[in-house]
Structure 1
């Protein structure tokens, strides 16, 4: 298990989207490079949110 804290920022001045950084150890685990795409998979179970991040091919 890996736990890391990051700050959330506005994506831009006109959007409701948010932005954060991917911690380097997680980027290394996923073998991410600049320009790669990732997929966010979110599920709720018993009021617990689980998010899985996968590198998109």
Structure 2
């Protein structure tokens, strides 16, 4: 199954990152840092109005 959003993908990665730490490919700190970095992008995107929303509510 493919995730419907970056937020969903990050939540799933956080819940199951074990396969990436096997054999020392990545550390949990590396994966957590990546999740935090990408979550900042998600929050920025989610708090930015869509152009249609801006036109409907914020333009004069």
In the superposition, the TM-score normalised over structure 2's length comes to: 0.22
Whose helix proportion is higher, 1 or 2? Answer: 2
Whose strand proportion is higher, 1 or 2? Answer: 1
